[in-house]
Amino acid sequence: MTDNYELLTEASAATYIGNQPGLCRLIDPATTTSSEIGDGNLNLVFVCTDAQGRSLVLKQSLPYVRIVGPDWPLTADRSTYEAIGLRVAADASPQTAPIFYGYDRSQHVLAMEDLSHLTVWRTALNDGQINSGAADIVGAHVARTAFATSVLGRSNEDFRLAIADSTNPHMCRITEDLVFTEPLTDHEHNEFSSELRDFVVTLTSDRRLTAEVTRLKTEYMTRCEALVHGDFHTGSFMIGEGPSPELKAIDAEFSAYGPIGFDLGMLIGNINFAHARAVALGREEQASWLVEFPARMWLAFAQEFTKLWPERIDPLVDDGYRDVWLARIQSDAIGFAGCESVRRIVGFAKVSDIEDLPPSEHLLAARTVLNVAHRLLTDPPAQIDDTMFS
């Protein structure tokens, strides 16, 4: 699945930079020191800083899933798709993407802006942070990247070529298995406390729910509307402080063409976790903000999409179709939020929002998340509104 290449270390990162003329213009390799800070599920991440304080990040794919080890091999070519996703976001929405310095395909290394002055969004949420304008920022980000990569922003030929270039089969397969299939089957990846067993079995064997997840999985696999980020959870963002924070989407190795509502739904699912945590910990102000988050993000998305609409390339995409499309994106997002909510409680790659809670709060929060998911998948609201987490 993967070729031979050399894994970077804290000691070798400066030498690597020294061999890359494009990077030597940004940072002095002779005085560079590096520190490996990767805390995600998959990759190596090095923050490299020189004596003048200039810095950048090198991200390298490991040939396996980091949190499991070599027993779960994984194509290092995922960085090729991450490069596509990062370039698209940097072009279409530079305010919400890291500056992208380049990609070395032979070594599976991406070079980008150092964002270590920011915090992983999930960590900030877990600590109780509130950023009132974050939903507006993310909604507009999704609209801009979706518009730019769909038939609205690309010529017919470029659109089809882009689908082919970003097909990303191995990473999409992970999503197909982990987000949709495994949580609803008797899979070894599934793990949850014994007190939840009866509840989980009842929920995941509800035929209305399994039918809806099957439908959504097929939509994810077949409806190539735009380049989606593909792993749009709160661990895939870096955030600053304040009402209108610096907010950057990172970790785009799951990029592929798919339904535009997929990213919106992933994020709503993760806001569901943050909300359940806030409620379990009695953080009322944070919980109220998070209840309003999905509708506010949706509004920002729809407004930005509508603002961009007059710039569309294909003259046959008429104004009436915009509202049809928006309605479908909205209903997709509700369903995908349900899938992500089930998956992170039942299946692989749990989230610290829920897992780090003390046992009794953990149980309460997990049940709350699953109840919300069940409703989103079997009796969905007509629109994304403030009742989604009720």
Sites of contact with Mg ion (CB under 5 A): 40, 251
What is Dmax (Cα atoms) for the chain? 62
Q: Please report how close the Cβ of residue 269 comes to Mg ion at its closest, in angstroms.
A: 15
Nearest CA-CA partner of 183 in 200, 160, 197 = 200
Residues 6+ apart with CB under 8 A from 321: none
Alpha helices in 256-318 (DSSP H): 261-280, 284-308
Q: Which of 136, 225, 231, 263 binds ligand SR1 (CB under 6 A)?
A: 231
Binding mask 346-365 for ligand SR1 (x = CB under 6 A): --xx----------------
Cβ distance 372 to 388 under 8 Å? yes
CA–CA dist 118, 97 (Å, integer): 13
Q: Which of 253, 239, 40, 223 is nearest to 146 (CA)?
A: 223
Among 8, 65, 238, 388, binds ligand SR1 (CB under 6 A): 65
136 binds, among Mg ion, ligand SR1, none (CB under 5 to 8 A by kind): none
Is the CB of 178 or the CB of 281 nearer to ligand SR1? 178
Using CB under 6 A as the criterion, what x/- string covers residues 277-316 for binding ligand SR1? ----------------------------------------
Q: Name the strand (E) or helix (H) holding 57.
A: strand 55-61
Query: Shortest gap between Cβ of 291 and ligand SR1 (angstroms)?
Result: 24
Least separation in angstroms between residue 167's CB and Mg ion is 20
Cβ nearer to ligand SR1, comparing 245 with 347: 347
Task: Compute the distance between CA of residue 292 and CA of residue 290 in angstroms, rounded to an integer.
Answer: 5
Within residues 23-42, the interface with ligand SR1 by CB under 6 A covers 41-42
Q: Which is nearer to ligand SR1, 141 or 229 (CB)?
A: 229
Q: How many residues bind ligand SR1 (CB under 6 A)?
A: 8
In angstroms, the Cα distances linking 363 to 23, 74, 193, 195, 288 are 48, 33, 8, 8, 21
Rounded to whole angstroms, how far apart are CA atoms 296 and 287? 14
**What angle in degrees, to the nearest 10, is found between the helix axes of 261-280 and 359-378?**
140
174 interacts with ligand SR1 by CB under 6 A: yes
Residue 216 contact partner, candidates ligand SR1, Mg ion, none, CB within 5 to 8 A by sort of partner: none
Rank residues 174 and 334 by Cβ distance to ligand SR1 and give the closer one. 174
Q: Smallest gap, in angstroms, from Cβ of residue 68 to ligand SR1?
A: 7
* 178 forms part of the interface with ligand SR1 (CB under 6 A): yes
**Cβ proximity of 316 and 239 under 8 Å:** no
Q: Does 190 bind ligand SR1 (CB under 6 A)?
A: no
Q: How many CA atoms lie within 13 A of 119 on its CB side?
A: 15
Q: Which residues bind ligand SR1 (CB under 6 A)?
A: 41-42, 65, 174, 178, 231, 348-349
